[in-house]
Amino acid sequence: MKFLTTNFIQCAVKGCQSSDSSFPLKYEECELVAETQEFKPEFLVHMLEKINWSALVQVARDLGNDNLPTEKPELDPIMEDDVLILKDLHNLLVETNILNGKMICNNCGHIYFIKNSIPNFLLPPHLCN
Amino acid sequence: MSRPEELAPPEIFYGDTESFKYTSSTRVQHIQAKMTLRALDLLNLSPDEPHFLLDLGCGSGLSGEILTEEGYNWVGMDISPSMLATALDRDADGDLILSDLGNGVPFRAGTFDAAISISAIQWLCNVDAVGNDPKKRLLRFFNTLYASLARGGKFVAQFYPKDQGQIDDILSAAKVSGFGGGLIIDEPDSKRNKKHYLVLSAGISDRSVNLEGAEMEVSAKKDKRKLKKLESRKSFINRKKETMRKRGRVVANDSKFTARKRRPRF
């Protein structure tokens, strides 16, 4: 699972949907791997509008990266300096994959496992509906 | 041909052998690619902007491959682990998530610009486990999907309904969740190649869906009395003859003289 996806995924349990603490999930014991992907600056800028930056910083800290700025950067793909930052972001958001690990909902405490980079969001029967 | 939906739940039906068979069949690949392109055509996304798409029931990533080719970034969801494993083997570019659509789409509000689904949502009409209520699952699915789409986000789903009842269930669940839109049927007269596309939008978008070539279906239900008045003498006689034939009566053969008026003899 790409690091970018962690900024959008939330607990699948119905009761947690309305709760603020179900996003972001807490990441534990994660094994990361880098994969080269095509660099698309326009896509990154587009996603940057959607990204919840504080959640991004929090998840990065869970995964052992404390170097993110606390404020969301405003970037333009035409500026040369910004392209460098975008490349860093690309490296972090798109090329970093979580291979194995655990995601824990802060609200209900359900643990979702990531295996072979696929998170398992199947719910046990008692948590359905 | 029997429907796979009637054989087993999706995660069991698409086991290792079936996933392999499905993915390696060039016929399936061809049909899936065609339907994905048609769905994208209906979505009518602006080609200049980047888009973040959700592929519901992505399976082994046959549709995702097309999305990647067209330059979209996507996330796929499916319930069958074997299918997802096949997708991993095929190096699908999007993120894959193992999840049951009937339990909702686990993404926060406004995540996706659009969503597609190829041959998947008819599975939601099945009861595979004790306590599963298809209507509830459909509603939960559409509700969470509506939330996870950005305002004006569009959703196109190709599906294989078993009967009119399933179409009605799906359409009404979508409507209750707040979606606007309807059903497009490609090649409606062909039993084999008929394809149903559910075309929905969450709120009003600047670019509406591409409905080129679509025709509105005129409702067939008309007043019976009016219909009878409109019917010509000849078609009336032919209709009556047909019913009699069906009942096994002996009926005069049809000819060019059928229903002609007798001229008075001079």
Give pLDDT, residue B187. 84
Tokens 């190829």 — which residue? B118
Confidence (pTM): 0.82
- Select the residue of B50, B73, B96 nearest A118 (Cβ to Cβ): B96
Give pLDDT, residue A129. 61
Sorted by where each starts, the structural domains of chain B and their CATH numbers stand as: 4-221 (3.40.50.150), 232-266 (no CATH)
Q: What is the ipTM of this complex?
A: 0.89
Q: Is the peptide bond before A24 cis (omega within 30 degrees of 0)?
A: yes
DSSP per position, B173-220: HHHHTT-EEEEEEESTT-TTT-EEEEEEEES--SS----TT--PPPP-
- Select the residue of A46, A50, A119 nearest B97 (Cβ to Cβ): A119
B52 contacts A121? CB cut-off 8 A: no
Residue B1: pLDDT band (50, 70, 90) is: low
Residue B106, chain A, CB below 8 Å: the answer is: yes
* Mean pLDDT value across chain B: 87
Q: Which of residues 32-51 of B touch A (CB under 8 A)?
A: 49-51
Whole-angstrom distance, CA of residue B77 vs CA of residue B111: 14
Q: Please, what is the Cα angle at B173 between B168 and B177, to 5 degrees?
A: 150
Q: Are B155 and B116 in contact (CB under 8 A)?
A: yes
The per-residue pLDDT for range B101-139, each reduced to its tens digit, is 988 899 988 899 999 999 999 999 888 777 788 898 999
Give pLDDT, residue B146. 93
Q: Are A17 and B144 in contact (CB under 8 A)?
A: yes
The per-residue pLDDT for range B50-73, each reduced to its tens digit, is 899 999 999 888 999 999 998 899
A46 contacts B50? CB cut-off 8 A: yes
Q: Which of residues 131-160 of B touch A (CB under 8 A)?
A: 131, 136, 140, 144, 147, 150
Chain B residues touching residue A11 (CB < 8 angstroms): 106
Lowest mean pLDDT among B77-91, B185-199, B242-256: B185-199
The per-residue pLDDT for range B6-43, each reduced to its tens digit, is 888 888 888 888 888 888 899 999 999 999 999 999 98
The per-residue pLDDT for range B219-239, each reduced to its tens digit, is 555 677 777 788 888 999 999
Alpha-helix runs per DSSP H in chain B: 10-13, 16-24, 26-43, 62-69, 81-89, 134-148, 164-176, 224-230, 233-246
Tokens 């078993």 — which residue? B162
Q: Which of residues 48-107 of A touch B (CB under 8 A)?
A: 50, 52
Neighbour order of strands in the sheet with B149-159:
B95-98, B73-78, B52-56, B112-118, B149-159, B195-202, B180-186
Give pLDDT < 70 ranges for chain A: 129
Taking CA atoms, A19 is separated from A22, A96, A128, in Å, by: 6, 28, 17
B97 contacts A121? CB cut-off 8 A: yes
Whole-angstrom distance, CA of residue B145 vs CA of residue B155: 9
